[in-house]
């Protein structure tokens, strides 16, 4: 229900308008003059004031001028006996919506009141919409200014990071921003490059304008990163990590490029040092392992070279089976010293021609456990002691020293076991001549899945039969 304040010194008119409007469910308050009306306005809100012009005391126009300032959401319609166009002009200028001439014509009053209320509502909605819009623009502007200030701070402060912004919107690409970090890294002064073509920096073309994007949205977040040896202004080079971020406009077109680069010379130096020390460590490790291998082979010339050849074959089988490089390397190291336990067996037994007695054979069988005991306290990065311990274990538990089953034996030990048998049969031994590679392959295929792991045997057969693998020719059977 709209509340209407009726101000008129003429009581019959006041009452008449009040009654007329109440029949249309408007809530009416009646005031005999401006000062009474001011009191009502202090107590409650009105949507509309119907106000006489000529009243004793404050005139209607002065009163409405006051209400337009103090209560801008309250609309006003003037009611007067004077049909004077200049008064109407004055009234409209101060923001009055309409002008009703006495004597009162009821329909005219009702239409005028309804129009004034509708217009007031439209103006209020319009103002609210405009204020809301202005507030949103203010918020966005503030957020943009803040983020720009943050970016600017990063841009200026990061000396170890270089930021270069390229603008692609003009007819020729040009450098838009060049941070202090970029000055240090590339050796150019900002003054020399801002506004210039990016070609002055001698950077690769695809850093300046990224290649066609497969998935622009994802690329937008990730950027393109790559390492690059940068040539500075005076020719010195610098290892750097470059990331290029394409900048898109609302239509998905690239309008700019932000190139962020970091000096990685310290990291590269550390990587080189680490690489060198790894290499030295690896050579020292290999040297020690070969020294151990030599110690056993010097006492047993018949098996000299056996360990190296077994290591080579085991490594080739592992490669054929697709094992990881590091695992293959560990297996080779294990192969090179797999018989180190024989150091504890009397040389006359190792070199004895003819058949061994059961006791002698039992003694030989201790070599895998002895080898394990020698190696178990050395911290290799691979399970070398376990590989050596298990290299005579067999799938059907018939091996030694423990009699492990197939799934209990390390894959490396299974590979080494097959390589050991093949090499040993193919080579000469003090107690028998060489049996030949064919006999060796026949042995492992016959016992495929029984004594020897099926996949290992398959890989071994493939090596010899299809890939023409040969045991080192010096030791060939
Ligand atoms: Fe052995």
pLDDT, tens digit, 9 for 90 and up, residues 288-334: 888 888 888 888 777 778 999 999 999 999 999 999 999 999 999 99
pLDDT at 219 over 70: no
Radius of gyration of the chain, Cα coordinates, nearest whole angstrom: 49
Cα of 282 from ligand 1 centre, angstroms: 25
Cα of 388 from ligand 1 centre, angstroms: 8
Q: What is each CA distance from 443 to 214, 307, 322, 460, in whole angstroms?
A: 56, 20, 24, 12
Least confident of 23-37, 297-311, 363-377, 382-396: 297-311
* CA dihedral sign, ordered 314, 316, 321, 327: positive
Confidence band (pLDDT; 50, 70, 90) for 427? confident
- pLDDT at site 157: 73
Cβ atoms < 10 Å from Cβ of 209: 15
Alpha helix segments (H runs only) across 213-264: 216-222
Tokens 């200049």 found at: 86
pLDDT at 37 over 90: yes
Two tokens, residue 396 = 């059907």
pLDDT at 221 over 80: no
How far does Cα 75 stand from its chain's mean position?
59
- pLDDT at site 474: 42
Cα of 321 from ligand 1 centre, angstroms: 22
Residues in the chain: 477
Sequence-distant (6+) residues with CB within 8 A of 238 are 185, 229, 230, 232, 263, 265
- pLDDT at site 56: 92
Cα of 469 from ligand 1 centre, angstroms: 22
Q: Name which residue leads in pLDDT, 121 or 171.
A: 121
The share of the chain scoring above pLDDT 70, in percent, equals: 95
Nearest to 339 by CA among 395, 397, 403, 419: 419
Cα of 91 from ligand 1 centre, angstroms: 118
Mean pLDDT for the chain overall? 89
- pLDDT at site 476: 38
Cα of 9 from ligand 1 centre, angstroms: 127
Mean pLDDT computed over 21-46: 95
Sequence-distant (6+) residues with CB within 8 A of 321 are 415, 455, 456, 459
Two tokens, residue 216 = 């622009």
Tens-place pLDDT, residues 382-417: 999 999 999 999 999 999 999 999 999 999 999 999
401: cis peptide before it, omega within 30°? yes
CA–CA dist 339, 23 (Å, integer) = 117
Cα of 463 from ligand 1 centre, angstroms: 22
Least confident of 76-90, 335-349, 385-399, 442-456: 76-90
CA–CA dist 385, 310 (Å, integer) = 16
Nearest to 52 by CA among 19, 74, 82: 82
- pLDDT at site 52: 93
Tokens 């899945």 found at: 449
Mean pLDDT computed over 255-283: 91
Cα of 224 from ligand 1 centre, angstroms: 54
Cα of 337 from ligand 1 centre, angstroms: 10
Cα of 368 from ligand 1 centre, angstroms: 6
* CA dihedral sign, ordered 87, 88, 89, 90: positive
Q: Contact, 392 vs 365, CB < 8 A?
A: yes
Q: Name which residue leads in pLDDT, 333 or 215.
A: 333
Cα of 398 from ligand 1 centre, angstroms: 15
Least confident of 24-38, 60-74, 205-219, 377-391: 205-219
Cα of 383 from ligand 1 centre, angstroms: 17
Cα of 260 from ligand 1 centre, angstroms: 59
pLDDT at 39 over 80: yes
pLDDT at 76 over 70: yes
Tens-place pLDDT, residues 135-155: 999 999 999 898 888 877 877
- pLDDT at site 402: 95
pLDDT at 123 over 60: yes
Cα of 120 from ligand 1 centre, angstroms: 104
CA–CA dist 466, 468 (Å, integer) = 6
Strand 75-80 versus strand 98-101 pairing type: parallel
Mean pLDDT computed over 71-82: 90
- pLDDT at site 211: 57
Mean pLDDT computed over 244-267: 86
CA–CA dist 166, 208 (Å, integer) = 7
Cα of 460 from ligand 1 centre, angstroms: 18
Cα of 338 from ligand 1 centre, angstroms: 6
Cα of 439 from ligand 1 centre, angstroms: 19
Cα of 468 from ligand 1 centre, angstroms: 25
Cα of 118 from ligand 1 centre, angstroms: 105
- pLDDT at site 461: 96
Nearest to 116 by CA among 92, 96, 94: 96
Mean pLDDT computed over 4-17: 94
Dihedral in degrees, nearest 10, Cα atoms 315, 321, 325, 328:
-30
- pLDDT at site 305: 86
- pLDDT at site 255: 86
Cα of 125 from ligand 1 centre, angstroms: 96
Q: Which contacts qualify for 386-389: CB closer than 8 Å, 24 or more apart?
A: 386/410, 386/413, 387/330, 387/331, 387/334, 387/338, 387/412, 387/413, 387/416, 388/334, 388/337, 388/338, 388/340, 388/341, 389/413
Least confident of 12-16, 100-104, 123-127, 360-364: 100-104
């Amino acid at each position: 229900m709209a509340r209407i304040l009726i101000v008129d010194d003429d009581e019959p008119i006041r009452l008449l308008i009040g009654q007329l409007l109440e029949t249309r469910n408007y809530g009416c308050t009646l005031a005999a003059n401006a000062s009474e009306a001011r009191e009502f306005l202090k107590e409650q809100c009105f949507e509309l004031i119907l106000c006489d012009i000529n009243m004793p005391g404050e005139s209607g126009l002065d009163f409405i001028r006051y209400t337009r300032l103090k209560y801008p959401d309250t609309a006003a319609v003037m009611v007067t006996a004077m049909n004077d166009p200049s008064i109407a002009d004055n009234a409209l200028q101060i923001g009055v919506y309409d002008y009703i001439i006495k004597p009162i014509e009821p329909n005219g009053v009702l239409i005028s009141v309804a129009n004034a209320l509708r217009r007031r509502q439209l103006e209020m909605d319009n103002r609210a919409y405009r204020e809301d819009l202005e507030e949103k623009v203010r918020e966005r502007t503030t957020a943009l200014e803040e983020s720009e200030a943050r970016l600017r701070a990063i841009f200026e402060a990061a000396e170890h990071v270089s930021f270069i912004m390229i603008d692609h919107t003009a007819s020729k690409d040009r450098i838009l921003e060049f941070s202090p970090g970029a000055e240090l890294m590339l050796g150019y002064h900002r003054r020399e490059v801002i506004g210039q073509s990016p070609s002055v920096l001698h950077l690769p073309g695809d850093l300046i304008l990224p290649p066609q994007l497969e998935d622009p949205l994802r690329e937008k977040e990730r950027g393109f990163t790559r390492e690059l040896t940068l040539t500075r202004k005076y020719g010195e080079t610098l290892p750097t990590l470059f990331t290029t971020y394409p900048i898109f406009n609302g239509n998905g077109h690239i309008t700019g490029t932000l190139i962020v680069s970091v000096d990685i010379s310290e990291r590269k130096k550390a990587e080189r040092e680490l690489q060198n020390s790894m290499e030295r460590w690896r050579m020292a490790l290999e040297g020690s392992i070969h020294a151990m291998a030599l110690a056993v082979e010097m006492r047993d010339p018949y098996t000299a070279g056996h360990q190296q050849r077994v290591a080579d074959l085991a490594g080739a089988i592992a490669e054929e089976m697709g094992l990881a490089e590091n695992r293959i390397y560990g297996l080779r190291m294990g192969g090179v010293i797999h018989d180190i336990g024989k150091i504890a067996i009397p040389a006359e037994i190792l070199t004895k021609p003819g058949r061994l007695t059961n006791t002698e054979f039992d003694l030989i069988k201790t070599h895998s456990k002895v080898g394990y005991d020698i190696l178990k306290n050395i911290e290799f990065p691979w399970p070398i002691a376990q590989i050596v311990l298990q290299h005579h274990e067999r799938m059907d538990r018939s091996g030694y020293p423990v009699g492990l089953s197939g799934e209990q034996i390390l894959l490396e030990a299974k590979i080494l076991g097959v390589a050991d048998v093949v090499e040993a049969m193919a080579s000469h031994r003090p107690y028998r001549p060489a049996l030949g590679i064919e006999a060796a392959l026949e042995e492992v295929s016959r016992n495929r899945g029984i004594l020897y792991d099926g996949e290992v045997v398959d890989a071994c057969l493939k090596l010899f039969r299809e890939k023409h693998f040969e045991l080192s020719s010096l030791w060939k059977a």
